[in-house]
Structures are given as C-alpha cells and as structure tokens.
Structure 1
C-alpha cells in the first residue's frame, strides 16, 4: 500500500533506522578500543569523574565543618548554666546570700543592712533599693519591725561569662513587737554581674 506523503511518521520511523548489534548510542563517548574511539578517551572521562568526586567531597567536608561550628555556637551551648556546674553553684550562692542580707533587718540593724547593700547591689538594683530603704528604716524604728528573708529555691536560667539571670523564690517573715509573725512568699527575677570575682545583683524584678 502506497504511503501518503502527508502522514506523520510513527515513533519508530522518527527514531531512524537501527542496525542489529549497534549498541553504541550516537553522541556517547566510545570505549577505548572500540571502532572509532580515539586513544585516551576513556582515561579522560575517568579523570573528569575523579575531579567531580574531589569537588563534591570538598564541598561536603566544608558543609560539615560549618554545621559543626553553628552547633557549637548556638545559644544553648553558650549557656554555661547547662554545662558549668561549679560556676552555676557560685552565682547561685552569691545571689542567695546577697538577697538574704539586704532583705533582712531589725530596728537596730538597718544601718548595717544599708551598708551591705552598697557592696552586694549595683546599677538599677542599688538605685531602687536606696530609694525605698529610707521608708523601711522609718517603719522598722516606728513599728519595731523585723524582717527575715530566706531563699527557698534559686535557679540560674542563663549564665554567659560575667552575666547571669536567675529565678529566685523567697520566704519572708515579718515580726512586729507585740504581734504574731506573718510569712509571705516572693518570687523574683534577678540579673547579676560578676565584679572582681563576686556576683553583684544589678536588677530585681518582682514576678
């Protein structure tokens, strides 16, 4: 049957004739020793592949190094409260002792308490304390007021170098002459800074 010239070629016809036994696709590099292969063609391809592998290995190694640095430099690993028990215990002890000292007084000890605060507090915390302690001195004298503060629990939430943030729970016992003592609980957020090897409280926020 005569084929019409305007019919579209089939997929087989479009692919062109193939010869049985012809396994080398057009455009693919011939193997060494194959008919038409130029000497060293296979060697050149092996060198190209080796070069590509070297580049990939270098890129992978660089990526792993950068990722390792990122992991080491994350905020979590920079927080010594998670890794340095000795430093954490030191700041907890210093801050707890300071709070118990500056928030404990009796009618005859307010002057000593105020003097201690000059060494244990600094920055905004010292300014806040100085502004309020004048009223405390008068109340302690007029009402024969005694305040005893005990740190029930203190935890360091962040410790980086010379700066620390803590959450502190206190029990405070108020005693007035001739009246029964009363106890109140307090919760404070504390920021401390290390100065000359001693941790000073620089900010106090009631929670």
Structure 2
C-alpha cells in the first residue's frame, strides 16, 4: 500500500481548483486527513460565526490506490462509490459538486433578510491574522501556502489542525494551529494560535523536535 498517489493529488488539488474556478478561489477550502484508514480530503466553505459547511469528501483507498466519492442512491437506499481514476476526473467532480452546493445554499437563503455577499467569508489564502505581540495583538498579512492539515483527532471529541504560510512583509514562516473541541451540545470550541519564525530558525526548530521525540509522551485515552 502506498500513499504516493494521494500525496501527489493533494499537492496539486488546491492550485488546480483555484485556476479553473474563480468562485472556489474566493471561498473554497480543503483539509487533508492523512492519518485515517482511508485518507481523505474534505472540501468546505466557511460562513459567519465559524459555521463550516463540508460540501464534498474525497476518499483514497490505499490498497487499490484509487480515489472515490461516496454517494447515496435514493432509489435503492444504498451508498455507492464513484471511482475517480485520474486528476482530471477528480477536479471535474469537485468542481461540479461545489457549484451544486452553492446553488442550493443560495436557494435556501431568504434574500429579504440576508445579504449573501455579506454572509460568505471571502478570505481564503491571502488574509490578515493576529500574531501575539505581548500587550497588543499585531496584524500581519499572510499568504497561506498549504491547506488546513489534520494533525491529530480523537473520536469525535477533539481535533488539531495546522496550516503553513508566509508573512508577506518579512518573508517569515507562520504555523497556524487550531484546536477544536466538540461538545455534547453540538457546539465547537476553537483555540487558535500562530507561531512565526524566520527561515534561519527553521532548521534549529526541526532539529530540536527530532532529537526530543523519544522523551515526549503520546496521548493515552485510558
């Protein structure tokens, strides 16, 4: 079993979707879960008040080395797989599902009460983030170079994600970490942090982590 094909598709997916669809470029996001038994890519949009809507999940079968999307047949009442053999088929499928989703979302909004253009968060890969500046928060302009990647999850209770970007003004790297806790009341508690570092520091940071992995303790749910 190999994840080489999965990793290649992940590296090309975001840029390819942005280049073929201006609307996805404005509001589309993707998150990679490489640790699952069947690794997956979730495609989503975010609305106000941290309301995230996943419109498609692309799965990868590592045994057969193929991508697929699960769909539900209303006639038979069964779930089936749509196999997507190449990157062109994957892009076409995600693109079509995205527009079907957006069309249905717009139809559900009462235009007399809600302005759709105000509801959708159009900040995507270029955005301002807050970095810890001591007594005051400092706003920095960031170009995100990766999608949100799932680093850890436990059941349906906790997940930790990271994404990497570059601070436009200084060229420094930035790691954006989100710790999400899902409560029994279907609420999501999020804790976001940003870590900024220079290119010269990166090697020392990597070396420190690698040299001290054996003294760290993993999470033990028992």
Q: TM-score range by the shorter chain?
A: under 0.3
Q: Which has the higher helix share?
A: 1
* Superposition TM-score, scaled by structure 1 size: 0.23
Structure having the higher Rg: 1
Structure number with the bigger relative contact order (C-alpha 8 A, sep ≥ 6) is 1
